[in-house]
């Protein structure tokens, strides 16, 4: 299967044991924060579930998304509609292409509409012996209790920084100058750490962020609207931008309160953090506003209105 992600080892061992015992679950629900590796674990478990005589070839097909009996559905920026679930159910009732098991992975299942969840529930109530439904979700509470109760729930949590650092070094990232910063920024989420090390677009976004954050102080009334317009052209990184913003203001608050730079996420921006003059009350307000805006976006709120409102509030704290 290749190298198992740090923090996933126990679940992979459990799944291998279940397969040996003939007790594989019909439904898995993998929960945890964005970037913690839910989809990665789902694929690793799908490899175990689907492995036959040609295991290496099967693993490669799952990894590339080309396995004929491994089907994926992802919300992306939209909710998952009932019809998509109906189509998935119809596919699950067909004979396996390879004559064995089938796995259906629904990523971001917490973005399912209620109608879609009810359609899925009917399948879970009458599971087929050779079919497994894998779900991933950030917000388990947005799923129907009746779906959760029929699933083997696997809660993924951020791993300790030292464990993440050691794993990345084992994978050959030890020569990266940005390794420690990437681990610190990731909040213990491996997918995020890898993105920070490998994704050039994200690296550019972070550099742009620290340029743009200074513009809040320049009191240009049109800046919140300009920044919003810019971010709407980079929707894939919109939530990452808000995360950077929350981390930055949290770093300022931590440094002002405790004076310990080792506790900072953006340790390489210490000079910038030291130069911030916002009061603690303003920092608490900004962090709260960012968290609320993130929640609104998660619930598919109007991105433009949410962002413009947030940036206007932040700018007012500088006035």
Per residue in 150-175, pLDDT (tens digit) is: 999 999 999 888 899 999 998 888 78
Per residue in 178-230, pLDDT (tens digit) is: 788 788 878 888 888 888 888 777 778 888 888 888 887 776 788 899 999 98
pLDDT at 58: 66
pLDDT at 3: 64
Of 287 and 76, the one with more pLDDT: 287
Q: Tell whether the model's pLDDT for residue 122 goes beyond 60.
A: yes
Cβ proximity of 289 and 314 under 8 Å: yes
Q: Tell whether the model's pLDDT for residue 261 goes beyond 70.
A: yes
pLDDT band at 235 (very low <50, low <70, confident <90, very high): confident
Q: Tell whether the model's pLDDT for residue 33 goes beyond 70.
A: yes
Q: Tell whether the model's pLDDT for residue 55 goes beyond 70.
A: no
pLDDT at 249: 94
Mean pLDDT across the chain: 86
pLDDT at 54: 57
Q: Percentage of the chain with pLDDT > 90?
A: 30
pLDDT band at 305 (very low <50, low <70, confident <90, very high): very high
Q: Tell whether the model's pLDDT for residue 308 goes beyond 90.
A: yes
Of 293 and 181, the one with more pLDDT: 293
pLDDT at 257: 93
pLDDT at 219: 67
Lowest mean pLDDT among 63-77, 123-137, 281-295: 63-77
pLDDT at 57: 65
pLDDT at 127: 79
Per residue in 68-119, pLDDT (tens digit) is: 888 888 876 667 888 988 998 888 888 888 878 899 999 999 888 899 999 9
């Amino acid at each position: 299967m290749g190298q198992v992600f740090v923090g996933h080892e126990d679940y992979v061992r459990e799944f291998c044991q279940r397969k040996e015992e003939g007790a594989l679950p019909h439904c898995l629900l993998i929960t945890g924060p964005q970037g913690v590796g839910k989809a990665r674990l789902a694929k690793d478990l799908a490899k175990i579930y689907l492995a036959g005589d040609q295991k290496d070839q099967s693993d490669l097909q799952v990894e590339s998304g080309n396995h004929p009996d491994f089907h994926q559905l992802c919300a992306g920026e939209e909710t998952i509609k009932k019809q998509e679930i109906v189509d998935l159910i119809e596919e699950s009732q067909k004979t396996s292409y390879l004559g064995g098991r089938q796995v259906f992975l629904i990523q971001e299942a917490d973005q399912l509409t209620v109608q879609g969840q009810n359609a899925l529930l009917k399948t879970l109530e009458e599971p087929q012996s050779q079919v497994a439904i894998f779900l991933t979700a950030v917000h388990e509470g947005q799923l129907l209790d009746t779906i959760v109760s029929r699933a083997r729930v696997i809660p993924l949590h951020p791993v300790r920084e030292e464990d993440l650092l050691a794993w990345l070094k084992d994978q050959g990232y030890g020569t990266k100058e940005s390794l420690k910063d990437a681990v610190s920024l990731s909040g213990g989420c491996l997918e995020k750490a890898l993105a920070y090390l490998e994704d050039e677009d994200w690296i550019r976004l972070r550099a742009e962020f620290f340029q743009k954050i200074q513009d809040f102080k320049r009191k240009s009334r049109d800046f919140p609207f300009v920044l919003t317009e810019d971010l709407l052209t980079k929707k894939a990184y919109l939530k990452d931008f808000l995360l950077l913003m929350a981390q930055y203001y949290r770093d300022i608050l931590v440094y002002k309160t405790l004076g310990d730079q080792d506790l900072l996420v953006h340790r390489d921006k210490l000079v910038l953090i030291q130069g911030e003059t916002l009061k603690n009350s303003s920092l608490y307000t900004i962090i709260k506003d960012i968290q609320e805006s993130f929640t609104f976006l998660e619930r598919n709120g109007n991105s433009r209105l949410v962002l413009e409102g947030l940036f206007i509030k932040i700018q007012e704290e500088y006035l």
